Amino acid sequence: MKIGGKSMKQEYLKKYFGYDRFREGQETLIDGILSGRDALGIMPTGAGKSICYQIPALMLDGITLVVSPLISLMKDQVEALNQAGIHAAFLNSSLTPAQYRKALSLAGQGRYPIIYVAPERLLNDEFLSFARSVRIAMVAVDEAHCVSQWGQDFRPSYLRIPEFIGRLPSRPVVSAFTATATAQVRDDIIDLLKLRDPLVLATGFDRKNLYFGVETPKDRYAAVKAYLKKHPGESGIIYCLTRKAVEDVCGRLIRDGFAATRYHAGLDDEERRKNQDDFICDRSPVMVATNAFGMGIDKSNVRFVLHYGMPKNIESYYQEAGRAGRDGEAAECILYYSGQDVITNQLFIENNRDNQELDDFLRALVQERDRERLKKMTFYCFTNECLRDYILRYFGEYGGNYCGNCSNCLTQFETVDVTEIAEKLLGCVRTGGQRYGTTVVIDTVHGASTAKIRQYRMDQNPFYGSLGKVPVYRLRQVLQFLQMQEYLTVTADEYAVVKLTARSREILDGTQTVTMKWAKEQVRKPAVAGGGLYGENGAADIENGAADSGGKSGRKKRRGKSAIVPGSAAVSRNGVADGAQPLFEKLRALRMEIAKEEKVPPYIVFSDKTLTHMCIVKPKTKEEMLTVSGVGEYKFGKYGERFLAKIRENR
């Protein structure tokens, strides 16, 4: 259907969402859904997945049910839709029985074209009765990876979605969306949700606006504190592995004068809700949290995500890091690594209680998969290759191994032939009977005279002292590289023993040359006890001499908060020219004022990206304001004149 030369979907895109054109993949998915075809959209965080089902929901004859895993996600989406002028509601455990019945009653009257519902509610008698009494045009499954036991957020309740659909009078269109899905998870989504000849579209996993970094500071808290001091007033998330770490880090930040709050499963519901609202509304711009926080949080102005410890897999890391820079502006994702992280994650895997419904065989299979994913996550912390490329290759995308926007690409490396070192390390493992951990192997080839070396009689090993002139930290780097390239493996048990692999023969026979990259001008540091990626105590070790509290040495100086482009004015990290920064801050203050009046998060009024565009366009009229990205007719009617007035004041 055309309206004034534009399709209805384009009219809705501008009117309700304020955008002039669709992003990559959105229109293809929308067209597929409108044609009556099932669809699976795999799009990175911030790519606009929700619009792919929200616009069809406005155009289809009937109600669209959006199955969503978290209350916070539903609340966020519904608030944003209502602010845009679209009636929407959610049905979950946060509603009282009276509120729930009223919402169902209004939905039955056709009040809401979009209803968000928790998966656990679908087969509830009251909800099922409602769903069978109205026309359900589409079931959209958000965070669809939750249906797969191979995904990082498996929710058994997602497996009941097809049963719910089967009990409807007629089958609606079924669409599914996720940001992180390996090929195995993608196939699971199609099979388990019983999608029929779906349109499958993956726009890629890359988030070019995100900087990725790995650092191994001696004092993680000092590194985080220094980072926050360099980025005053910016909003960000600090992820910790345990509740104890959350309490410690948040408490210290508050004592040091930072506006921080906390979130983990040990807090009561009311405190979690309050703390989340304080973060979303920028009253406490820094959130310290476990991985219990964040899925579906659509806060657009998160400028950094710091990991105060390594997550257990790449999927979790990329999903959590992806909460930065949802507005498309530059943001930073830095992982502060310590060897203890591997031990902590191994304990999580061994004591996992999330898969109790699985039989013993499947539970063991899932546990083995989790160990393998932990190993790949650990390799991320040690690779000298492009960090972005490492992540993308994990999800099946292959690039040029240089992004120019990660700590490795901004570090000066040299390629070194380490064949001789590799041969002697593997030789030591073989002649030692494959019985020892990385520390014993390294101490043996380096010629250390420790009690353990004498006790194991490794001072009699033919390779004892054969690499005495090579620094210990270099030996450790080579051993880690051999693990990453699968020339060696380390058992993931209590003793963490180094073992040969099928590939070891290539080096031991002298038929394989081994080269690797290492950073130039490294500062030597004392060796750290423990060893390798998986040391004898089960811990992953740091690259001794390769990093200090500021990250890897040899790194080129990268752009900080401001960057000078030749022939242009200085541009701040939010994309605003320095001269326009005062106007941007005044617009932010106005946005906060309106958000308090409306009782919604500031970014739901307008995103930082929209305010930035206002500073560039400096509109004088309604027509000019409507050219600003993110300003639609409905929002202009509510807020437009106030922002125009503020811009006029600052001419």
Assign residue 68 the CATH number of its domain.
3.40.50.300
CATH number at residue 510: 1.10.10.10
Distance from C-alpha of 295 to C-alpha of 390, rounded to nearest angstrom:
23
pLDDT at 552 over 70: no
| DSSP track, 405-434 | SBTTTTB-EEEEE-HHHHHHHHHHHHHTTT
Residue 237 lies in a domain: yes
Q: Which pLDDT score is estimated for 295? A: 64
Mean pLDDT of 560-587: 58
Distance from C-alpha of 412 to C-alpha of 486, rounded to nearest angstrom:
25
Q: Which pLDDT score is estimated for 574? A: 56
Question: Of residues 247 and 204, which shows the higher confidence score?
Answer: 247
Same domain for 523 and 600 = no
User: pLDDT tens digit string along 391-424?
Assistant: 999 888 877 788 999 999 998 888 899 999 999 9
Mean pLDDT of 583-589: 90
Mean pLDDT of 17-24: 88
Residue 269 lies in a domain: yes
Question: Of residues 559 and 615, which shows the higher confidence score?
Answer: 615
pLDDT at 275 over 90: yes
The pair of structure tokens assigned to 161 is 């979605």
Same domain for 313 and 229 = yes
Residue 565 lies in a domain: no
User: pLDDT tens digit string along 608-622?
Assistant: 889 989 999 999 999
Residue 22 lies in a domain: yes
User: pLDDT tens digit string along 89-129?
Assistant: 998 888 888 888 888 889 888 899 999 999 999 999 999 99
pLDDT band at 572 (very low <50, low <70, confident <90, very high): low
Same domain for 196 and 173 = yes
User: pLDDT tens digit string along 476-531?
Assistant: 989 989 988 889 988 866 677 899 999 999 999 988 899 998 877 544 444 433 34
Mean pLDDT of 6-18: 87
Same domain for 269 and 383 = yes
Q: What angle do CA 496, 499, 500 make, to 5 degrees?
A: 160
User: pLDDT tens digit string along 44-55?
Assistant: 877 788 999 999
Which residue segment(s) compose the domain that 605 sits in? 574-649
Question: Of residues 91 and 257, which shows the higher confidence score?
Answer: 257
Same domain for 215 and 179 = no
Same domain for 156 and 114 = yes
User: For the chain, what percent of residues have pLDDT higher than 70?
Assistant: 87
Q: Which pLDDT score is estimated for 573? A: 55
Same domain for 614 and 505 = no
Answer yes or no: are the C-beta atoms of 423 and 411 closer than 8 Å.
Answer: no
Place of tokens 């919402």: 103
Residue where a domain stops, chosen among 202, 232, 251: 202
Same domain for 319 and 244 = yes
Q: What angle do CA 103, 109, 112 make, to 5 degrees?
A: 60
Closest by CA to 104, choosing from 127, 74, 81, is 127
Residue 102 lies in a domain: yes
pLDDT at 576 over 90: no
Q: Which pLDDT score is estimated for 629? A: 87
* Most confident by average pLDDT, 366-370, 438-442, 546-550: 438-442
Q: Which pLDDT score is estimated for 522? A: 47
Distance from C-alpha of 157 to C-alpha of 236, rounded to nearest angstrom:
31
Q: Which pLDDT score is estimated for 563? A: 35
Answer yes or no: are the C-beta atoms of 490 and 538 closer than 8 Å.
Answer: no
User: pLDDT tens digit string along 24-36?
Assistant: 899 999 999 999 9
Return the sign of the alpha-carbon dihedral for residues 574, 575, 579, 584.
Answer: negative
Residue where a domain stops, chosen among 152, 167, 202: 202
pLDDT at 273 over 70: yes
Q: Which pLDDT score is estimated for 54? A: 95
Same domain for 174 and 42 = yes
Answer yes or no: are the C-beta atoms of 315 and 151 closer than 8 Å.
Answer: yes
pLDDT band at 210 (very low <50, low <70, confident <90, very high): very high
pLDDT at 260 over 60: yes
Averaged pLDDT of the chain? 85
Answer yes or no: are the C-beta atoms of 175 and 140 closer than 8 Å.
Answer: yes
pLDDT band at 369 (very low <50, low <70, confident <90, very high): confident
The pair of structure tokens assigned to 176 is 């599914």
Residue where a domain stops, chosen among 394, 425, 459: 394
Answer yes or no: are the C-beta atoms of 584 and 616 closer than 8 Å.
Answer: no
Same domain for 282 and 240 = yes
The pair of structure tokens assigned to 320 is 């959590």
Same domain for 520 and 373 = no
Tell me how many domains the chain contains.
4
pLDDT at 227 over 80: yes
Mean pLDDT of 212-229: 96
CATH number at residue 636: 1.10.150.80
* Most confident by average pLDDT, 178-192, 214-228, 336-350, 601-615: 214-228
Same domain for 274 and 358 = yes
Residue 408 lies in a domain: no
Residue 75 lies in a domain: yes
Residue 504 lies in a domain: yes
